[in-house]
C-alpha cells in the first residue's frame, strides 16, 4: 500500500474516532462540584511538585460490595443509581482504546480495564458511556466533573496528583521513538535537527521538550502525529511503546526503536473528591491481577506486539487523604 493511501486510511480512522455519541461533553455530571481552577486552566505547575511516592494510591479497606449493592453515600452508589459509568477514552489508540471500524465499538486493553470496573458495579461489562477525549482533555474532564474515570494510557506522576487521583499502577510502559523503517536512528539524540511529534499536554511531549536538539511538534492525538508523519510534515513520533506499537501496525514503512528512555506507569484517573471510588477500583484491579483477567486482557491486545505478558505491576498504597 502506498504512503498516500495509508495517510488517507489513517485520516479516515481519525474521523471515525470523532463520530458517534461518545463526544466529549463539558457539562459537569449531576451532583459533582468542579475543582478546576477559575478560568479553566488545568495545566501543571511550571516547577513540578515532588511527592514521597507518586505510585502510592489509596488502599482498599476490605472486600468490595457485591455488584448492584453499592454502599449508600458512596460515589459507586451514585454511578449505580445513574445506571452507567461515564468514561473519558481514546477512540484512535490502536490496541489500547480504538474504534473498531467493523463493529463500531471502542476496544482495547485500557477499555478492558474499564469493563472490569463496570462489572464490579453492575455485574455486566457494558454499562459504560464512552466520551471520546484527547490526551489534553484527560485532566480537565476529571477536574470539571464530566466523567467518572479516565482509562487512557495516563502516566502517574506527582504533578498530576495535584489535580486528580490515580488508581494503583495497572501497566508499566516506556517512551520510545517511531521512525521510518530505513532510518538508522535509535534514540531522540540521533534525531538532531529533526521534527518529532507528540500529543500536546502529554508526558511524552514534556520529555520531548527536554531534548533541545530536536524540533517538537504537537498534535491532539498520536493518530494526528501519524498523519503528519505519513505526509512528511514530521520525521518521527515519540510516545509510549504501547501506543507506538499500534501506530507501527498501521504503517509498514515505520518501525519502533528498541531503546526505552523513560518508565511510564499507567493509572486510571479519577476525581480527588472521591477517594472511596479510587479504593474500590484498586480492589477491582487487585482481583483482576490475581485471577488472570489482567493477563487475559494483555494477551488479547498487547502480546502480539510487545511479547509475552510480564508480571502485572504490584500495587503501592499508603497515600493519605
Residue 223, pLDDT > 50, answer yes
pLDDT on residue 149? 98
Whether the CB-CB separation of 120 and 110 falls below 8 Å is answered with no
Q: Is the pTM of this model over 0.75?
A: yes
Interstrand relation of 106-107 and 236-240 (parallel, antiparallel or unpaired) = unpaired
Task: Render 89-100 in DSSP notation, one character per residue.
Answer: E-SEETTTEEE-
- SS3 for 27-71 is CCCCCCCCCCCCCCCCCCCCCCCCCCCCCEECCCCCCCCCCCCCC
In this chain, the answer to whether the domains covering 53-172+265-311 and 175-256 adopt an identical fold is yes
Decide which of 3.40.50.450, 3.90.1150.10, 3.40.190.10, 3.40.30.10 is the CATH code for 53-172+265-311: 3.40.190.10
pLDDT on residue 4? 41
Q: Which distant-in-sequence residues (6+ apart) come within 8 Å of 81 by Cβ? A: none
Provide the phi-psi class of 74: left if phi over 0, else alpha when psi is between -120 and 50, else beta. Answer: beta
Average pLDDT over the chain reads: 88
Q: How far is CA 60 from CA 89, 117, 279, 293, in A?
A: 25, 14, 5, 19
Q: Which distant-in-sequence residues (6+ apart) come within 8 Å of 313 by Cβ? A: 168, 169, 170, 171, 172, 265
Place of cell 509475552: 308
Task: Render 141-192 in DSSP notation, one character per residue.
Answer: HHHTTS-SEE-S--B--HHHHTT-EE-S--EEE-EEEEEETT----SGGGGT
pLDDT on residue 306? 83
pLDDT on residue 201? 84
pLDDT on residue 30? 58
Give the whole-angstrom CA distance, residue 163 versus residue 169.
17
Residue 259 CB burial class (10 angstroms; 0-12, 13-18, ≥19): middle
Q: Which of 132-136, 146-150, 282-286, 297-301 has the lowest mean pLDDT?
A: 132-136
pLDDT on residue 59? 98
Q: Report helix, strand or coil for 259.
A: coil
118-169 residue pLDDT tens: 999 999 999 999 999 998 899 999 999 999 999 999 999 999 999 999 999 9
Residue 265, pLDDT > 70, answer yes
**CATH homologous superfamily, domain 175-256:** Periplasmic binding protein-like II (3.40.190.10)
Residue 25 CB burial class (10 angstroms; 0-12, 13-18, ≥19): middle
Whether the CB-CB separation of 217 and 192 falls below 8 Å is answered with no
Q: Report helix, strand or coil for 130.
A: strand
C-alpha grid cell, residue 233 = 510534515
C-alpha grid cell, residue 294 = 489482567
- The full set of domain ranges for the chain reads 53-172+265-311, 175-256
Amino acid at each position: 500500500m502506498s504512503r498516500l493511501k495509508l495517510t488517507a486510511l489513517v485520516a479516515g480512522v481519525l474521523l471515525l474516532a470523532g463520530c458517534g455519541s461518545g463526544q466529549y461533553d463539558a457539562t459537569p455530571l449531576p451532583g459533582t462540584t468542579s475543582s478546576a481552577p477559575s478560568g479553566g486552566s488545568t495545566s501543571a505547575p511550571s516547577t513540578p511538585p515532588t511527592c514521597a511516592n507518586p505510585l502510592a494510591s489509596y488502599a482498599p479497606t476490605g472486600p468490595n460490595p457485591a455488584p448492584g449493592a453499592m454502599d449508600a453515600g458512596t460515589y459507586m452508589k451514585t454511578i449505580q443509581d445513574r445506571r452507567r459509568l461515564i468514561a473519558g477514552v481514546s477512540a484512535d489508540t490502536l490496541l489500547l482504546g480504538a474504534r473498531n471500524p467493523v463493529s463500531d465499538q471502542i476496544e482495547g486493553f485500557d477499555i478492558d480495564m474499564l469493563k472490569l470496573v463496570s462489572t464490579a458495579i453492575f455485574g455486566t461489562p457494558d454499562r459504560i458511556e464512552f466520551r471520546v477525549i484527547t490526551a489534553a482533555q484527560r485532566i480537565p474532564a476529571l477536574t470539571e466533573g464530566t466523567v467518572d474515570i479516565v482509562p487512557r494510557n495516563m502516566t502517574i506522576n506527582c504533578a498530576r496528583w495535584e489535580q486528580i487521583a490515580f488508581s494503583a499502577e495497572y501497566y508499566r510502559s516506556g517512551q520510545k521513538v517511531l521512525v521510518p523503517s530505513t532510518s538508522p536512528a535509535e534514540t531522540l539524540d540521533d534525531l538532531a535537527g529533526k521534527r518529532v511529534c507528540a500529543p500536546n499536554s502529554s508526558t511524552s511531549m514534556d520529555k520531548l521538550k527536554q531534548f533541545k536538539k530536536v524540533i517538537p511538534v504537537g498534535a491532539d492525538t498520536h493518530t494526528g502525529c501519524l498523519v503528519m508523519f505519513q505526509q512528511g510534515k514530521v520525521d518521527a513520533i515519540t510516545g509510549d511503546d504501547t501506543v507506538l506499537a499500534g501506530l507501527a501496525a498501521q504503517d509498514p514503512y515505520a518501525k519502533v526503536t528498541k531503546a526505552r528512555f523513560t518508565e511510564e506507569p499507567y493509572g486510571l484517573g479519577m476525581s480527588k473528591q472521591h477517594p472511596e471510588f479510587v479504593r474500590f477500583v484498586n480492589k477491582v484491579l487487585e482481583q483482576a491481577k490475581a485471577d488472570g483477567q489482567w493477563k487475559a486482557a494483555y494477551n488479547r491486545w498487547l502480546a502480539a506486539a510487545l511479547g509475552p505478558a510480564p508480571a502485572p505491576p504490584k500495587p503501592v498504597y499508603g497515600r493519605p487523604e
